Chain A
Amino acid sequence: MSEVVVKMEGISKSFAGIKALDHVQIELCKGEVHALMGENGAGKSTLMKIMTGVYTKDEGFMYLRDEINGEMRQIEIKSPLMAQKLGLSMVFQELNLLENMNIGENIFIGREPVGTATMIDKKVLNEKAKKELEKVKLDINPSTSVSSLSCGQKQCVEIAKALSFDARVVVFDEPTASLSETESRTLFEIIRELRNKGVCIVYISHRMEEVFELSDRITVFRNGTYIDTVETSKVSEADLIKMMIGRDLEEGKKKGSAYINKQKTVLSVRNVTIFPNSSPISFELHEKEILGFFGLVGAGRTELSRAIFGIDPIGEGEIYIQGSKVHINCPRDAMDVGIGLVPEDRKGLGLILGMSIKDNMLLSKLGQLKSRILNKKVLKEITGTYIDDLGIVLRDENQEVKELSGGNQQKVVIAKWLAMTPDILILDEPTRGIDVGAKSEIYTLMRKLTEAGKSIIMISSEMAEIQKVSDRVIVMHEGNITGELSIEEATKNSIMQAAFGGIKA
C-alpha cells in the first residue's frame, strides 16, 4: 500500500444529542480511489464534512502527512478554507456554485487575482481558470455564465474549483446522481487521471457498479459506526450489502410474463406525442403488473408521465382507463380517475419539506374527503395506517419531512399517493438516492401493491432495477418507443440496444 495522506481515528460527532458518528476511523492513501459506503444516515458525508472543515468534530484525532518533511502530524481543521488550503476539498452533492456568476469567478471566489487599485484582474482570472478547466476536460470559455451549463458541466466546474487548491484529497459525494451516462463516463476518466497523478479520491456512492468499477478500497459505515475497510477486488456485492445493512436482502419475487393478467387492461395510452418531432406512441398497462420504462436521459419517459398525469396535458392522442376514454387536464383529473404519480424530484415536486410528515401524507387525500372541515380522528387513522404499513421510521408524525432520510422521505411520498387509493401508480425513479436497505423495502412494497390489485408504471434509469422489478419492459429513445420486451426477453443487451434507438417500434 502506498503512503497514507490522511488518517482519522476515534472521530465522534453528535447533532442535537443524536450520535451521527461514534468513534469511527479511516485511512486515506496517496493515489487511491477510496469508496465510502453505507446506508443513508450511516455517517459517510458527516465524516467527510469534518475532514473538509464544514463540521467540527466532538472527539477524535486527525493526522495529515506534512508535505515538506513527510511526517504525519496531528491537525485541527477549523474552517473549509483552511481545509482547502491544506489540499482537502469536497465536491458537494448539491452543487455549490453561484448561478449568477461566471465559471472563472466561481472557481476563484474569495481569492480573485487583484490588479491595480484592488480591482479584479479579469484577464489573469480567465487565464488561470482556463488552465483549471483543461484539467477537467471542459473546453468552455471561463466567462460563460454558470447558469447556462448542464449538470455535468457544473460538476466539472466544481471539480476544477477543488483541484485549483492543489488538492491532495478530493471527496466526491454522490457525483453521478444527476449526470447522464456520457457525463458519468467523463467524470470517471477525470477521477482515474487524478488518481494516477497521486491524488487521493474519496468516492461516496450508492451505486454498486460504479464503486466496483472505480475504487481500490472500500470503507463501510453502518449507523454511525465503522464496520470495515476492504480491498475492492476481494469482496463481492452480496458481502458488501451485508456489511452495510447488517443482514441479507430479501426481495419480492417477480411474476414473469405468464402470470400477468393479460386480459385486463387498466390503462391504455394511444397516439400520444412526446416531443414535437417524435412519432406518436401507444402502450397498455395490465392489471397487477409492474411495467418498467427504461431509457437514457432525455428519452421522454418523464415527459410521458407528466402528460398522463396532466401536468403537461396531452395535445393529441387519447387515454383510456378501464376501457373508457378520459380527459386529463390537470393532476386533479388524473387523481379522479385513479392515477397517482411519485415524481423523480422528491424534494422539489414530491414533498413540502417544511411541513410535517402527517400533513404531507394527507395532501392528495384531502381533496377526496367529503367534508371541508378537517376531522383529526379520521386523518389520524389514515396517516397511522400508512406509517405502519410502509414502515416509515420517525420520531413523531408532526416531525418535519426534511429531517427524514431519503428512503423515509420517499415512503412518505408513496404514502401520500396510497392514501388516495389509486388503481394506477406511476413511480419515476423510485429509488434514486436511496440506500440499499430502503431500496429493497420499496421493491417489496411495489410487489405487495400489485398483489393487492394495483398496477404500476416504474420509470427507471437503473438497468439492474428494471431487470429485477419489472414484469414487462418498455424502452424509449428520443420520445419514441423502441422496444417492448417481456421479462424473459429483457436482457441487458436487448434493453440497451433499444435504448440507443436500435429497433424502431
Chain B
Amino acid sequence: MREKKKMDLGSLRELLLIGVVIILCIIWTIMNPQFISMNNVTNILRQGSYTAIAAVGMTMVIIIGEIDLSAGSLICASGLVGAMVCKSTNNVVLAVSAALLVGVVVGGSNGVLCAVGKLPGFIATLASMTVLRGLAYIITGGNSVVWTNEAFTKIGTGYVGIVPIPVIIMLVVIIFGVFLTSKLRFGRYIYAVGGNMEASRWSGIAVVKVKIIVYMIMGVLTSIAGLIVVTRLGSGQPSAGQNFEMDCITAAVVGGTSMSGGRGKIIGTVVGVLLLTVLTNGMTLVGINTYWQQVFKGIIIVVSVLADTHTKKN
C-alpha cells in the first residue's frame, strides 16, 4: 500500500505537467483551431524531437551533478561534419558515422576534462562550446554547406507512414534513456555519483568511467540531434544551434531534474520538452511575438521549480 502511495507521489509531478500541457492545448485550440490540425501536431513533434533527444542526454549529465554547455555548438559541429562528408563522398552512412564520431570525441573529451582533469563540467564544456563554435566558422569560412544526396535529407524531413523520421528516432532515444536510467546497473551508478561522488567511489563504483561514459552518451545524442537539425535546414550553418543547450537544460529543470545532481527522470524531461514546444508553437500560432514568448518561458521555469520545491516540503 505504502509503496503504491509513494510511486504516485513520484509521478505526480509528471502527471501535473501533462495536465498543464493539456490545458495549454485546449487554450491554443480555442484561440486558433489550426493548432490541433494533423499538420501542426506533426510539426510540434518534429520541433520537439531534436530537443528531446539531446535533453535525454542532458538529464543524465545533470543527474551526475555536471552540466553540458557545449550542446549547441556540438549540434552545429556534428551537423556540419555530416554535411561536409555527405557533400564530398555522397555516402550517407559515412556522413552519419562521421557526425556521430564527432559526438563521441567531443563528449569523451568533455568527460575526460571533467572526470580526470577534475575541471568543473561547467568550465570544461564552456571551453569546448567556444572552441567548437570557433572551429565551425574557421572550417566553413562562415559559409553554409550544401549537399545533393536526398537520402541524407530524409533524416530530418522524411516520414515512415505518417510519422516523421525524427519522431521515430526520438522515441527510440527516449526508450533507451528510460531503460538505461531505471533498469540498468549503470543507471544506478549515475544517480549514485550525482548523489554523493565520494561515497560512490568508496562503494567501489568507477566514478571516472561513469562520468566519461555519460558525457559520451550526451555527445552522441547531441550529434544525432545535430543531424536532424542540419538535414531539416537543408544546409550546414556555422551559426546553427545557438542557445540550444539552454533549451535542453530548461526542459530538464522544468521536468524536475535537480541541478545539484542525484535526482531527475527522463520522462520528466520529455514532458518538459513537450510543454515548452507546445507553449512556443501555440504562442506563435496565436500571434504572440518572440520577445513575449521568452518572457513566458522564463516564468514557466520559475513556476515549475517553485512548485517542485514546495511539493517536496509537503
Listed by A's residue number, 13 A-B pairs whose Cβ atoms lie within 8 Å are: A331-B203, A331-B204, A332-B206, A348-B196, A353-B196, A354-B263, A355-B191, A363-B200, A369-B185, A373-B184, A374-B184, A398-B3, A398-B6
Q: Shortest distance in angstroms between B116's beta carbon and chain A's nearest beta carbon?
A: 14
B262 touches A355 (CB 8 A): yes
* Set of chain B residues within 8 Å of A364, measured between Cβ atoms: 203-204
Is A359 part of the binding interface, using a Cβ–Cβ cutoff of 8 Å? yes
Is A362 part of the binding interface, using a Cβ–Cβ cutoff of 8 Å? yes
A359 touches B203 (CB 8 A): no
Q: Shortest distance in angstroms between A287's beta carbon and chain B's nearest beta carbon?
A: 24
Size of the chain B interface, CB-CB below 8 angstroms: 25
Q: Taking A367-B204, A369-B185, A374-B183 as contacts, is the C-beta distance between A354 and B3 under 8 angstroms?
A: no
Is A335 part of the binding interface, using a Cβ–Cβ cutoff of 8 Å? yes
Which chain B residue lies CB-closest to A346?
Answer: B199
Q: Taking A352-B262, A373-B184 as contacts, is the C-beta distance between A359 and B204 under 8 angstroms?
A: no
Q: Shortest distance in angstroms between B314's beta carbon and chain A's nearest beta carbon?
A: 9
A352 touches B204 (CB 8 A): no
* Set of chain B residues within 8 Å of A371, measured between Cβ atoms: 185
A349 touches B184 (CB 8 A): no
Size of the chain A interface, CB-CB below 8 angstroms: 32
* Set of chain A residues within 8 Å of B192, measured between Cβ atoms: 352, 355, 359, 363
* Set of chain A residues within 8 Å of B263, measured between Cβ atoms: 354
Task: Give Cα A131 to B192, complex, Å.
Answer: 47
Residues of A within 8 A of B (CB): 309, 311, 330-332, 334-335, 341, 343, 348-355, 359, 362-364, 366-367, 369, 371-374, 395-396, 398, 416
Q: Shortest distance in angstroms between A457's beta carbon and chain B's nearest beta carbon?
A: 16
Which chain A residue lies CB-closest to B198?
Answer: A349
Fill in one digit per residue for B244-274: 1 if any A CB lies within 8 Å of its CB, else 0. Answer: 0000000000000000001100000000000
B195's partner among A309, A353, A366, A373 (CB-CB below 8 A) is A353
A366's partner among B2, B183, B185, B196 (CB-CB below 8 A) is B185
Task: Give Cα A350 to B185, complex, Å.
Answer: 19
Which chain A residue lies CB-closest to B206?
Answer: A332
Q: Shortest distance in angstroms between B236's beta carbon and chain A's nearest beta carbon?
A: 37
B183 touches A363 (CB 8 A): no
* Set of chain A residues within 8 Å of B206, measured between Cβ atoms: 330, 332
A354 touches B203 (CB 8 A): no
Q: A331-B202, A366-B189, A372-B186 are in contact. List 6 more A-B contacts (CB 8 A).
A: A330-B206, A348-B196, A348-B198, A363-B192, A366-B188, A396-B2
Which chain B residue lies CB-closest to A352?
Answer: B195
Q: Taking A331-B203, A396-B6 as contacts, is the C-beta distance between A372 and B196 under 8 angstroms?
A: no
Q: Shortest distance in angstroms between B179's beta carbon and chain A's nearest beta carbon?
A: 9
B196 touches A331 (CB 8 A): no
B188 touches A416 (CB 8 A): no
* Set of chain A residues within 8 Å of B188, measured between Cβ atoms: 359, 362-363, 366, 374
A350 touches B199 (CB 8 A): yes
- The A-contacting residues of B in range 186-236, CB under 8 angstroms, are 186-189, 191-192, 195-196, 198-206
* Set of chain B residues within 8 Å of A373, measured between Cβ atoms: 183-185
A343's partner among B185, B202, B204, B262 (CB-CB below 8 A) is B202
A341 touches B202 (CB 8 A): yes
Q: Shortest distance in angstroms between A353's beta carbon and chain B's nearest beta carbon?
A: 7
* Set of chain B residues within 8 Å of A334, measured between Cβ atoms: 204
Fill in one digit per residue for B34-47: 1 if any A CB lies within 8 Å of its CB, else 0. Answer: 00000000000000
Q: Shortest distance in angstroms between B175's beta carbon and chain A's nearest beta carbon?
A: 14
* Set of chain A residues within 8 Å of B205, measured between Cβ atoms: 363, 367
Q: Shortest distance in angstroms between B244's beta carbon and chain A's nearest beta carbon?
A: 29
Q: Shortest distance in angstroms between A16's beta carbon and chain B's nearest beta carbon?
A: 9
* Set of chain A residues within 8 Å of B262, measured between Cβ atoms: 352, 354-355
Task: Give Cα A352 to B199, complex, Å.
Answer: 6
A352 touches B202 (CB 8 A): no
Task: Give Cα A362 to B204, complex, Å.
Answer: 12
Task: Give Cα A366 to B186, complex, Å.
Answer: 9
By Cβ-Cβ distance, the 6 closest A-B pairs, closest first, are A352-B195, A363-B203, A352-B196, A331-B204, A332-B204, A364-B203
Which chain A residue lies CB-closest to B196?
Answer: A352
Task: Give Cα A350 to B3, complex, Å.
Answer: 25
B6 touches A416 (CB 8 A): no
* Set of chain A residues within 8 Å of B2, measured between Cβ atoms: 395-396
B199's partner among A309, A332, A348, A396 (CB-CB below 8 A) is A348
Fill in one digit per residue for B1-33: 1 if any A CB lies within 8 Å of its CB, else 0. Answer: 011001000000000000000000000000000
